[in-house]
Amino acid sequence: MSVLTGGHSATDLARERKFGSLYSRNAKAVVGRGLMAAKSSTWLVMVSGFFEPVLFLLAMGVGMGSIVGTVQGPGGEEISYAAYIAPALLAVSAMNGALYDSTWNVFFKMNFAKLYQGMLYTSLGPLDVAIGEIFLALLRGLLYATGFTAVMGVMGLLTSWWAILVIPASVLIAFGFASFGMGITSFMKTFQQMDWINFFLLPMFLFSATFYPLSVYPQVIQWFIQAMPLWHGVELLRQISVGSFSPATAIHVGYYLLMIALGIMLTTARLRQLFLK
């Protein structure tokens, strides 16, 4: 009994009345669980998630790039086509890594494994669960980004030391998608509804200035794409990869900070509605 009454975090919580039953400062237990589960099951998925953008880079960047030649980079300088699309693919990779964990994994844990139901019968609050799950998604995003950045380096696509910053920037992008993804997934009840997420993601991947500049579109479509999150990620990483910054850089970062804040609010509110009704 002394273990419980002595070192228990719940007693510290009494002082932190503000978040009451939402948070018990123990998101690390959720993270620990995720790592232990990943140890046995999801390795293959992680590997395939890493290779996907690498294959795209080889096919489009190196293969198609040989007939495209050089294109104009963010600062106006000429760069190889592979160097042009590589940061965009990195943004997509961060997005996919974060979304895989925060949508499909969360969907399964919520509706089939009843994992959260079990967690919330312990001292954990919904905010602990949300933070823990989002952190795991970020960890995956970080792994993908680091691996892909190394590939870019090996292929000679990094022309500036600034490029090392694409790794934290990728985590920022992953954070934005993960925090929103979990909140949106909480509305989904069937596999058909989960497919809507893919239906939204594929065009965003293809048309967010990933493979060619935004200027090819008419003005109205440009506005629409600029409202989408991936475009900001693509532009941000593209600027960082060549070390060419502008006021737009701050807008891209701000976009993600806002997305993260709104996403966490949404996710926590939804978890509370679903499990503490």
Partner 1 sequence: MSGGATSLLRVHNEAIRSPTPSPTQSESSQSGFDMNRPSVISARNLTKAYGDLTAVDNISFDVPAGESFGLLGPNGAGKSTTMKMIGGVSQRTSGTLSIMGLDPESHGPEVRAHLGVVPQQDNLDEELKVRENLIVYGRYFGLPLSYLRPKADELLEFAQLTDKANSKVDALSGGMKRRLTIARSLINEPRILLLDEPTTGLDPQARHILWDRLFRLKESGVTLILTTHYMDEAEQLCDRLIVVDKGRIMAEGSPAALIREHSSREVLELRFGSERNATIGVELQGVGERLETLPDRVLIYAHDGESALEQVTARGLRPMTSLVRRSSLEDVFLRLTGRSLVD
Chain contacts with partner 1 (rule: CB under 8 A): 1-4, 7-11, 13-14, 20-21, 24, 26, 29-30, 32-33, 36-37, 40-41, 113-115, 117-125, 275-277
Q: What is the closest distance, in whole angstroms, from the C-beta atom of residue 17 to partner 1 in the complex?
A: 8
Q: Is 108 or 191 the residue whose CB approaches partner 1 more closely?
A: 108
Q: Is 131 or 230 the residue whose CB approaches partner 1 more closely?
A: 131
The residues, ordered by sequence, that sit 6+ positions from 247 with a Cβ below 8 Å of its Cβ are none
Q: What is the closest distance, in whole angstroms, from the C-beta atom of residue 162 to partner 1 in the complex?
A: 40
Read off the tokens for 231: 């475009």
Q: What is the closest distance, in whole angstroms, from the C-beta atom of residue 31 to partner 1 in the complex?
A: 10
Q: Is 10 or 150 the residue whose CB approaches partner 1 more closely?
A: 10
116 residue type, one letter:
Y
Report the alpha-carbon distance of residue 167 to residue 181 in Å, rounded.
Answer: 21
Q: Is 2 or 192 the residue whose CB approaches partner 1 more closely?
A: 2
Q: Is 70 or 122 the residue whose CB approaches partner 1 more closely?
A: 122
Half-sphere exposure of 59 (CA within 13 A, CB side): 8
Tell me how far CA of residue 101 lies from CA of 45, 72, 136, 185, 202, in angstroms.
11, 35, 7, 11, 17
The alpha carbon dihedral of 73, 79, 80, 82 has a sign of: negative
Q: What is the closest distance, in whole angstroms, from the C-beta atom of residue 253 to partner 1 in the complex?
A: 34
Q: What is the closest distance, in whole angstroms, from the C-beta atom of residue 109 to partner 1 in the complex?
A: 9
